[in-house]
Amino acid sequence: MEAVAEGLWGLADEFEKKGEIGKAVKCLEAICQSHASFLPIVEVKTRLRIATILLRHSHNVNHAKSHLERSQLLLNSIPSCFDLKCRTYSLLSQCYHLVGAIPPQKQILYKALHLTSAAAPDVSAKLWCCNFNSQLANALIIEGDYQNSISTLESGYVSATQICYPELQMFFVASILHVRLLMQWDDQTANEVERALQRCNQVWETMPSDRRAHCMGLLFYNELLHIFYRLRVSDYKNAVKHVDKLDAAMRQDSKSRGQLTRFTTTTTTSAGNDSLEPTYFGNAKRALQDKLFLAPPPINGEWLPKSAVYALVDLMIIIFGRPKGNFKECDKRIQSGIHIIKEELIRLGITDDVREVDLQHSAIWMAGVYLMLLMQFLENKVAVELTRSEFLEAQEALMQMKNWFIRFPTILQACESIIEMLRGQYSHSVGCYNEAAFHYVEAAKITESKSMQIMCQAYAAISYFCIGDAESSSQALDLIGPVYRMKDSFVGVREEASILFAYGLLLMKQQDLQEARNRLAKGLQIAHVQMGNLQLVSQYLTILGNLALALHDTGQAREILRSSLTLAKKLSDIPTQIWVLSVLTGLFQQLGERGNQMENDEYRRKKFDELQSRLADTRSSIYHIELIDKVKLQVQQFHEIDMKRTIADESMRVNLDIPESVGLSTPMPVPSSSRLADLDTGRRG
């Protein structure tokens, strides 16, 4: 009967090569359903092969799970077969993971770890120990048990060290950094995060350079974690070198992959020594050159598929390039990233008519990753288009975000506050300050992020200042006063820069001009030196130029305002240009420079007319009222998605924490220049 099994295994391989998966499975199931008696080990190998094929080529996880559970029962009666047992436990754990059954996954992994601890301490046992510790740590993360997850990863690191395997050591220390950085970081654990970062650097540097060159998955993983750390501590300048390194690596990898594709032939292996393709991140079968492995067999896991990592690198380039006004490069990266993501969503079966309730359970996590990335690209597109006053383009991108959220409300639950914030920025940009304040306040209520709450409160205060009446100024004071008193407890400089801007406006309202100048000067230094945000620098310079003019320091006012105008032109920021030009007109009027005043005011009127034309087109759009309307997003509630909510919330919260965009909106100017020097900064020009 052994020869019959070998023949059916070979036939199944041929069918799988041809893509005839149903026939391959039927060949193998013929062995399991035969009335003839096969040895238990033959049936185990066959069922293992069936499960592998199903996980590679279909969403039929439960069918695969049934075969693996039967294999496990058969193996209980066999005293040896260490490798087969480990392979079965590993695949069965992955099946439980895909269906969201975390308790049985943990149970099977503890059983597997017990098996490895009782085996001879050879390389094979230690490698399987690394595999099971990696999967167990992932399961513990999903349950929110971060401390035990770190302990489990430390156990994996010990096993990797015992067999002198630096790639695996790097995998575990990077995973520990991931947990500490993106899931566990608070004021009490900041030192542990720093130590985890240094540990990654040490292990990476101890690896020979020729071995590092073959660890592309680890390179991308490690560098992205470093970028996230630099973003968290607002060290933008040092983050850039990691972004540049990743971009260069991505280009080189793309070039190498193009060359490899021409010479690669597809091979498959027999049921006895088949490589177990990991299933953490979706079931789509991808060629080896399309993977970024984090660790060698038998782990083989990816943090994210290569396409998602590439999109993430594009996103990092956008996040660092947008504040500097590198819009041409940002446009290219946004288009590239959105194209990649939409292709992957189609591969996951997400077409125009698919909604959250239609998703296969095993596709939820991967769909969530790509959908969250898509929302990040669209968010940055909205920010770019608003900066350069392309309001209709911003409308379209924001409506796309809204529609995606309505279709996938639980997976994209974390995006609700971002959409509200962007509705506020859109409303502010088109001069609807009351509506802008409403959406900012709503965003602050929805989000659980302390950072975003602070940013939205600062934004709302600025919008209230722009309304200009006494009641609105009082509301601005109520928002910004308490936050300003807490500013020394903030970790990030983004929050501090936003608060100093809003607080400077408050002090100007209260006619405390010198103190306002001091606060705004400090905010300018943060925006320029630590953030490198040109739009924010331009806005700070404009208001400081306005202050210098009010304090009759005309020389400094002229110098500051010219710098601000240069930056605003670089950014194609029309509202800020008009604001600066209005203040300059007032300056030339004070100095009696009639020629400069007339020339400057003529250019201001030209830009003002251009802006009004764009605003007229924007306000006539069918989406305008829908976006500014003071109504929260209405989402249809679906049934039977409690588990989907759990999986989506956990995966999005702990696995893809990308810091939100930065940048302040500019208040709209009024046509008259007669109120420039009276410091009615609710209108600012």
pLDDT class of 265 with cuts at 50, 70, 90: very low
3-state secondary structure of 403: helix
Comparing 350-354, 501-505, 669-673, the range with the smallest average pLDDT is 669-673
Quick one: pLDDT at residue 678?
Answer: 30
Q: What is the mean pLDDT of residues 145-168?
A: 94
pLDDT class of 300 with cuts at 50, 70, 90: low
Q: What is the mean pLDDT of residues 249-265?
A: 68
Residue entry with tokens 């679906």: 638
Q: Residue 96 contacts by C-beta under 8 Å, 6 or more apart in sequence?
A: 65, 102, 104, 105, 108
Quick one: pLDDT at residue 280?
Answer: 36
Angle formed by the axes of helices 493-509 and 534-550, nearest 10°: 20
3-state secondary structure of 288: helix
User: Residue 446 has which token pair?
Assistant: 């929805």
pLDDT class of 638 with cuts at 50, 70, 90: low
Comparing 109-123, 492-506, 568-582, the range with the smallest average pLDDT is 492-506
3-state secondary structure of 287: coil
State the CB neighbour count (10 A cutoff) for residue 634.
6
pLDDT class of 273 with cuts at 50, 70, 90: very low
pLDDT class of 496 with cuts at 50, 70, 90: confident
Are the C-beta atoms of 186 and 489 separated by less than 8 Å? Answer: no
Q: How does the average pLDDT of the chain come out, rounded?
A: 85
Are the C-beta atoms of 638 and 356 separated by less than 8 Å? Answer: yes
What's the CATH number for 413-532? 1.25.40.10
| Residue 108 pLDDT > 60 | yes
Are the C-beta atoms of 467 and 436 separated by less than 8 Å? Answer: no
The C-alpha torsion from 185 through 309 and 658 to 377, rounded to 10°, is: 180
Q: Residue 255 contacts by C-beta under 8 Å, 6 or more apart in sequence?
A: none
DSSP state at residue 318: H
Comparing 73-82, 220-229, 486-495, the range with the smallest average pLDDT is 486-495
451 burial class (0-12, 13-18, 19+ CB within 10 angstroms)? middle
| Residue 571 pLDDT > 50 | yes
CA-CA distance, 648 to 104, in Å (whole number)?
Answer: 20
Q: What is the mean pLDDT of residues 274-300?
A: 55
Q: Residue 393 contacts by C-beta under 8 Å, 6 or more apart in sequence?
A: 381, 385
Range picked from 146-155, 500-509, 523-532 for highest mean pLDDT: 146-155
Stated length of the chain = 685
Apex CA 59: angle with CA 58 and CA 60, to 5°?
A: 90
Amino acid symbol at 40:
P
**Confidence (pTM):** 0.84
pLDDT class of 647 with cuts at 50, 70, 90: very low
H helices present in 351-449, as ranges: 364-387, 391-407, 416-429, 433-446
Quick one: pLDDT at residue 105?
Answer: 96
pLDDT tens string 341-380: 999 999 888 998 999 988 877 788 889 999 999 999 999 9
pLDDT class of 288 with cuts at 50, 70, 90: low
Quick one: pLDDT at residue 38?
Answer: 83
H helices present in 77-122, as ranges: 82-99, 102-118
Q: Which of 655, 663, 662, 664 is nearest to 312 (CA)?
A: 655
pLDDT class of 682 with cuts at 50, 70, 90: very low
| Residue 382 pLDDT > 50 | yes
Quick one: pLDDT at residue 660?
Answer: 35
372 or 451: which carries more pLDDT confidence?
Answer: 372
Quick one: pLDDT at residue 286?
Answer: 53
Question: What sign results for the dihedral spanned by CA atoms 562, 567, 568, 572?
Answer: positive
Quick one: pLDDT at residue 484?
Answer: 85
Quick one: pLDDT at residue 329?
Answer: 95
| Residue 557 pLDDT > 50 | yes
CA-CA distance, 501 to 466, in Å (whole number)?
Answer: 13
Q: In 26-54, which positions are buried (b, 16+ CB within 10 angstroms) versus exposed (e)?
A: bbbbebeeeeeebeeebbbbbbbbbbbbb
pLDDT tens string 53-107: 998 888 788 999 999 999 999 998 888 899 999 999 999 999 999 888 999 999 9
CA-CA distance, 150 to 153, in Å (whole number)?
Answer: 5
pLDDT tens string 14-32: 998 998 999 999 999 998 8
Amino acid symbol at 654:
V
CA 531 from centre of chain: 19
Q: What is the mean pLDDT of residues 177-201?
A: 86
| Residue 449 pLDDT > 80 | yes
337 burial class (0-12, 13-18, 19+ CB within 10 angstroms)? buried
Are the C-beta atoms of 344 and 305 separated by less than 8 Å? Answer: yes
Q: What is the mean pLDDT of residues 287-309?
A: 75
